[in-house]
């Protein structure tokens, strides 16, 4: 937080005690955004979705991250997006692309895109937030190193915020609903530096789309490559690297 | 469909063969909107949500309605909204209000409101539509006799349409996404007359929030009362009345 000139820094953040639901996938970005929200003083509940992802070990990572951040209200909700098919991340019949060129990553929408995934995630977090009386959602979307998914863009977040105001009891009763996307404009290296400053242990997080049975990353999918490039640019060592 | 003056009516509707996903709860409204979409020529897939509702017999009704309309692509997706609690429709510890006055129904947001329900339903339908290459969703929301839920209003539908354009691969690739809410401005009596004109058997549908073990309606909850008033105003007999 920036200090205002001529004004003492507040002892507690202005958001202290406000309730928020954080989407916690178990990956690097969501763990960083959760650590950021805790630093900002939000009282956090966490939601993880068990959506038939082939990288299911990330749910164990989500539990570990929630534990290390002291989040005790953590719901892991099954929602079987695999029933619809159509993505390499949920459909075992479609191969995860490996070893794509840096130019190819981020160009177009890849086969690892899960249909309407962030919309589904934010919507379920919104439902959870209503039952908790929470006025904010925290999501680790990022529009810089984002693999080309349409539902990571700032205009998507703005549209969802507008929808949330109209869709909920809280909005109707005049309480505003905020969607916090603290990583939206950060590069992967900046995200990693932020998390390290916050004392986050990235060894607890998993980013790989196609880990082995022990949860070890493949090192070759788009997500592993973006992570490795981010750690390199941040001048840091990834505790979970292959 | 209105005939244009000086122009022959088209032999097939302009929407013939366009794919759409219809949200089919098994209730009166969604069945009517599905029958309407079939008449309009849409090639329909149907989605029903098994969301922990206490009126689970409506899922059998959804199957029966899909069957009678010839919809073979019908997904019943479990998503455990009861894990969040907070509504009489999913939380067995909260009683469904019975015998409320006509003035009370439609005033404020009732305890039967399921947090963010229509947002969750539309979002999952959007995910299914993406995997089917469908460019339209059909939802039986109604802003007239609607029990006071915030996510039944026209401005909610407009906001969701905008979100869908931004959130999906189809939208990014320039294919428009339509949300069809054919009942939005109809009274319950007008909905029932439309369904009867379309040959729909309302005996296959269930509206009650608290039916008995055999699926028979209670006759006293808000939904039963709105349905009974609608049939009376339409001058028709409800084949599923108590």
The encoded tokens of residue B17 equal 């063969």
A90 domain residue, yes or no: yes
Q: How confident is the model at residue B142 (pLDDT cuts 50, 70, 90)?
A: confident
Residue A2, judged by CB atoms within 10 A of its CB (0-12, 13-18, 19+), counts as exposed
| A73 φ/ψ angles, rounded to the nearest 5 degrees | -90, 85
Domain with B95, as residue range(s), is 19-234
The encoded tokens of residue A68 equal 């290390």
pLDDT value of residue A24: 96
CB contact (8 A) between residue B123 and residue A119: yes
Q: How many helices (H) and strands (E) does chain B have?
A: 7, 5
A222 domain residue, yes or no: yes
A111 touches chain B (CB under 8 A): no
pLDDT value of residue B42: 96
A12 domain residue, yes or no: no
CB contact (8 A) between residue B131 and residue A160: no
pLDDT value of residue A66: 97
Contacts of B85 in chain A (CB under 8 A): 131
Residue of A nearest to B117 (CA): A127
Domain harbouring A56, CATH code:
3.40.50.620
Total domains present in chain B:
1
Using CA atoms, how far apart are residues B52 and B85, in angstroms rounded to an integer? 10
Q: How many helices (H) and strands (E) does chain A have?
A: 7, 5
How many residue pairs from chains A and B have C-beta atoms closer than 8 A?
Answer: 138
The encoded tokens of residue A63 equal 């539990």
pLDDT value of residue A221: 84
Per residue in B88-126, pLDDT (tens digit) is: 545 555 565 566 555 554 545 455 556 778 899 999 999
Single out the residue of B27, B82, B74 nearest to residue B53, CA to CA. Answer: B82
Q: How far is A165 from chain B (nearest CA, A)?
A: 9
A42 domain residue, yes or no: yes
B65 domain residue, yes or no: yes
A239 domain residue, yes or no: no
Does residue B167 register a pLDDT over 60? yes
pLDDT value of residue A97: 57
CB contact (8 A) between residue B120 and residue A118: no
% chain B with pLDDT above 70: 77
Report the predicted TM-score, pTM, of the whole model to 2 decimal places. 0.81
Using CA atoms, how far apart are residues A168 and B152, in angstroms rounded to an integer? 11
Q: Buried b vs exposed e over B188-205: b needs ≥16 C-beta within 10 Å?
A: bbbbbbbbbeeebebebb
Q: Which residue from A84, A117, A150 is facing B171, i.e. has the nearest CB?
A: A150
Q: Which residue from B79, B131, B160 is facing A84, i.e. has the nearest CB?
A: B131
Query: How do the pLDDT tens digits run along chain A, 242 residues long?
Result: 434 445 555 566 667 779 999 999 999 999 999 999 999 999 999 999 988 776 678 899 999 999 999 999 999 998 887 788 655 545 555 565 566 555 554 545 455 556 788 899 999 999 999 888 899 999 998 876 555 667 778 888 999 999 998 887 777 778 788 999 999 889 999 999 999 999 999 999 988 878 888 888 888 888 888 899 999 999 999 998 75
List Cα–Cα distances, B21 to A121, A137, A214, in angstroms. 20, 28, 39
pLDDT value of residue A78: 87
B216 domain residue, yes or no: yes
Using CA atoms, how far apart are residues B229 and B145, in angstroms rounded to an integer? 10
Per residue in B188-222, pLDDT (tens digit) is: 999 999 999 999 999 999 888 788 888 888 888 88
CB contact (8 A) between residue B162 and residue A167: no
B24 domain residue, yes or no: yes
Average pLDDT over chain B reads 82
Interface-testing mutation among B74, B89, B116, with chain A (most A C-beta atoms within 10 A): B116
């Amino acid at each position: 937080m920036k200090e205002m000139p001529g004004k003492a820094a507040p002892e507690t953040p202005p958001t202290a005690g406000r309730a928020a639901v954080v989407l916690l996938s178990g990956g690097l970005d969501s763990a960083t955004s959760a650590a950021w929200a805790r630093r900002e003083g939000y009282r956090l509940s966490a939601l993880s979705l068990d959506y038939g992802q082939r990288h299911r070990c990330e749910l164990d990572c989500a539990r570990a991250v929630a534990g290390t951040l002291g989040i005790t209200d953590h719901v892991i909700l099954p929602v079987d997006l695999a029933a619809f098919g159509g993505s390499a991340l949920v459909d075992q019949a479609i191969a995860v692309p490996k070893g794509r060129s840096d130019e190819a990553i981020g160009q177009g929408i890849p086969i690892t895109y899960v249909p309407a995934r962030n919309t589904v995630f934010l919507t379920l977090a919104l439902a959870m937030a209503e039952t908790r009386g929470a006025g904010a959602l925290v999501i680790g979307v990022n529009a810089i190193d984002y693999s080309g998914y349409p539902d990571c863009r700032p205009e998507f977040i703005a549209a969802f915020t507008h929808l949330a105001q109209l869709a909920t009891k809280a909005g109707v009763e005049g309480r505003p609903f905020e969607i916090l996307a603290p990583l939206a404009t950060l590069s992967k290296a900046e995200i990693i530096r932020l998390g390290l400053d916050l004392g986050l242990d990235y060894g607890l997080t998993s980013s790989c789309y196609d880990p082995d049975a022990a949860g070890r990353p493949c090192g070759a999918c788009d997500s592993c490559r973006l992570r490795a490039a981010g750690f390199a640019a941040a001048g840091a060592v990834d505790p979970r690297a292959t």
